């Protein structure tokens, strides 16, 4: 065996080029934001669009809801979905997804930017009016529970983790706010040395910040002293981190003209771009289970496989005639085809398996191996 190529694959992606689209659906208007819950995806376009994604390769629209203004953000929770039009919040009952109906809401006094939900409280980034905390325990009678108004203008998005809120405030960076008492939120810390923070997501001890033309990783283990520990530049000035979503060791960036960008943050000090697809304009992104949903502007809803995609490595035979051992790893429960090719054009499936918690060894048993051979693991 004088030549060996190893690749990773999700759908038909082979470690290079664009990450393939698994499914797509045109929307009634520009797809701005997206969320997922179970077998449903929710797209904020000119209306709230409710989409059945139980078959990711063939999504279909079930119904729609028209709020007072075009929705800016959407959060599903059980049989309800919280929709953010221009100046308020509308709560929609999805017991019948084909006929959604409004059951409550809250009318604000300024433009709203983003939503986050924790327990029975909804946190609203009110662009020019700081952070609003709404009690949504009774959807029919939403009450203002608290507010933190000492924020710069451009309060565009909020993320919640436990009793901590991270608020994106544009050129002023981010603010960390203690919301253990929703009636009296308190500022705990801030970081200003950023470019133009538009979006933020939190996971564990880190916040992942869409900072203009880059993704920044912020250590928030000490909320009184958040600090930047790593960053990853996007491709060009046309790329803008419009939305971010995190799942495990990967951050998904809706990077406008650069499309979807996947960043490995397993080492927060050295985030690394590992995949992407720049064939569309990405405005919103969400991860639900092993699917990634992208609000792709005029291209509607796009669906991708979530990372980690299956990986294959090899151990060189110790002696002539010994079998080649391939090691396959990836997300437990995924069904994978192990394929081989001599020319990267024609691929043959020679083994199928279901991934477990530990990597799986597979022996290449063909007796007469060619001088060059390529292998890839492809998720079914």
302-323 tens-digit pLDDT: 999 887 667 788 876 666 667 7
Q: Name residue 360's beta-bridge partners.
A: 328
Of 330, 321, 325, 318, the closest CA to residue 363 belongs to: 325
**Cα 36 to Cα 55: distance, rounded to the nearest angstrom:** 14
**pLDDT per residue as tens digits for the range 90-118:** 999 999 999 999 999 998 777 778 999 99
My answer on whether 86 and 231 are in the same domain is yes
pTM for this structure?
0.83
Asked whether residue 1 is domain-assigned, the answer is no
Q: Is residue 258 part of a domain?
A: yes
Residue 343: which pLDDT band, with cuts at 50, 70 and 90?
A: confident
Q: Which residues of 109-119 are buried (b: 16+ CB within 10 A; e: fewer)?
A: ebbbbbbbbbe
Q: What is the distance between the alpha carbons of residues 245 and 114, in angstroms, rounded to a whole number?
A: 14
Give the containing element (helix H, strand E) for 257. none
Does residue 2 form part of some domain? no
Flag whether 87 is in a domain. Answer: yes
Q: 349 and 202 in one domain?
A: no
At residue 14 the predicted structure's pLDDT band, cuts being 50, 70 and 90, is very low
Residue 16 pLDDT greater than 80, yes or no: no
CATH of the domain at 67: 2.130.10.10
Q: Is residue 210 assigned to a domain?
A: yes
Say if 54 falls within a structural domain. Answer: yes
Tell me what pLDDT residue 164 has. Answer: 97
255-259, 270-274, 372-376: the lowest-pLDDT one: 372-376
Write out pLDDT tens, residues 145-180.
Answer: 999 999 887 888 999 999 999 999 988 999 999 999
Three-state DSSP class for 234? coil
Residues 259 and 331 in one domain: no
**Structure token digits, residue 266:** 């397993």
Between CA 158 and CA 132 the distance in angstroms is: 10
User: Using CA atoms in the order 178, 182, 186, 191, what is the torsion angle rounded to 10 degrees?
Assistant: 50
- In this predicted structure, which of 7-21, 29-43, 106-120, 330-344 has the lowest mean pLDDT? 7-21
pLDDT value at residue 367: 54
Domain boundary among 305, 321, 337: 305
Whether 279 and 326 map to the same domain: the answer is no
Task: Indicate if 301 and 328 belong to the same structural domain.
Answer: no
pLDDT single digits (tens) 47-88: 999 999 999 999 999 999 999 888 999 999 999 999 999 778
Is the pLDDT reported for residue 208 higher than 80? yes
Q: Please, which pLDDT band fits residue 275 given cuts at 50, 70 and 90? A: confident
**Cis peptide preceding 308, ω within 30 of 0:** yes
Q: What are the helix (H) ranges across 288-375?
A: none
The DSSP bridge pattern shows strands 157-161 and 260-264 to be unpaired
Long-range contacts of 162-165 (CB under 8 A, 24+ apart): 164/188, 164/202, 164/220, 164/223, 165/116, 165/123, 165/131
Is the residue at 8 inside a domain?
Answer: no
Of 254, 277, 305, the last residue of a domain is 305
User: Do both 252 and 356 map to the same domain?
Assistant: no
**Domain span at residue 202?**
19-305
Note whether 197 and 123 are same-domain residues. yes
> Per this entry, what is the length of the chain?
380
Q: Are the CB atoms for 52 and 39 separated by under 8 Å? A: yes
Give the 3-state secondary structure of residue 231.
strand
pLDDT of residue 312: 80
pLDDT beyond 50 at 264? yes
Looking at the structure, do residues 240 and 281 belong to the same domain, yes or no?
Answer: yes
Q: Which of 72, 81, 71 is nearest to 37 (CA)?
A: 81
Closest by alpha carbon to 286, among 62, 6, 81, 146? 81
Does 297 lie in the same domain as 324? no
pLDDT score of 237: 63
One domain for residues 276 and 349 = no
Whether 149 and 133 have beta carbons less than 8 Å apart is answered as no
The C-alpha atoms of residue 234 and residue 133 are separated, in whole angstroms, by 33
Give which of 236, 233, 278 is closest to 260, Cα–Cα: 278
Residues 58 and 177 both lie in one domain: yes
How many independent structural domains does the chain possess? 2
State how beta strands 3-9 and 23-25 pair.
unpaired
Q: Is residue 11 part of a domain?
A: no
Please classify residue 73 by burial: count the beta carbons closer than 10 Å to its beta carbon, then call 0-12 exposed, 13-18 middle and 19+ buried. buried
Among 263, 280, 305, give the residue marking a domain's end.
Answer: 305
How distant is the alpha carbon of residue 260 from its chain centre? Answer: 9
134, 247: one domain: yes
d(CA 107, CA 132): 12
Q: How far apart are CA 161 and CA 152, in angstroms?
A: 22
């Amino acid at each position: 065996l004088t030549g060996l190529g190893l690749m990773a694959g999700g759908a038909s992606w082979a470690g290079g080029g664009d990450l393939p689209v698994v499914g797509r659906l045109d929307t009634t208007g520009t797809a701005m934001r997206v969320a997922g819950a179970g077998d449903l995806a929710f797209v904020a376009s000119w209306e709230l669009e409710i989409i059945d994604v139980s078959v990711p390769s063939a999504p279909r629209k079930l119904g729609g809801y028209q709020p007072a203004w075009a929705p800016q953000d959407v959060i599903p929770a059980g049989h309800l979905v919280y929709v953010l039009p221009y100046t308020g919040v509308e709560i929609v009952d999805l017991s019948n997804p084909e006929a959604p109906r409004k059951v409550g809401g809250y009318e604000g006094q300024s433009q709203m930017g983003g939503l986050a939900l924790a327990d029975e409280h909804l946190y609203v980034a009110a662009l020019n009016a700081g952070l609003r905390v709404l009690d949504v325990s009774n959807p029919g009678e939403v009450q203002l529970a608290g507010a933190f108004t000492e924020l710069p203008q451009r309060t565009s998005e909020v993320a919640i983790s436990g009793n901590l809120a991270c608020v994106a405030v544009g050129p002023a960076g981010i603010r960390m706010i203690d919301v253990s008492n929703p009636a009296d939120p308190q500022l705990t810390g801030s970081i200003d040395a950023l470019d133009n923070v538009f979006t933020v997501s939190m996971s564990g001890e880190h916040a992942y910040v869409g900072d203009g033309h880059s993704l920044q990783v912020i250590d928030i283990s000490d909320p009184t002293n958040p600090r930047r520990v790593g960053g990853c530049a996007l491709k060009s000035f046309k790329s803008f981190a419009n939305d971010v979503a995190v799942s495990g060791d990967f951050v998904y960036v809706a990077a406008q003209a650069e499309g979807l960008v996947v960043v490995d943050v397993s080492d927060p000090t050295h985030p690394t771009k590992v995949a992407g697809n720049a064939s569309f304009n990405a405005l919103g992104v969400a991860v639900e289970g092993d699917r990634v949903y992208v609000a792709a502007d005029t291209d509607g809803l796009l669906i991708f496989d979530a990372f980690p995609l299956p990986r294959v490595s090899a151990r060189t035979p110790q002696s002539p005639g010994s079998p080649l051992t391939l090691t396959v790893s990836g997300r437990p429960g995924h069904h994978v085809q192990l394929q081989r090719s001599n020319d990267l054009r024609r691929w043959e499936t020679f083994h199928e398996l279901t991934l477990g918690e530990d990597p799986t060894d597979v022996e290449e048993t063909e007796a007469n191996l060619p001088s060059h051979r390529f292998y890839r693991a492809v998720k079914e």
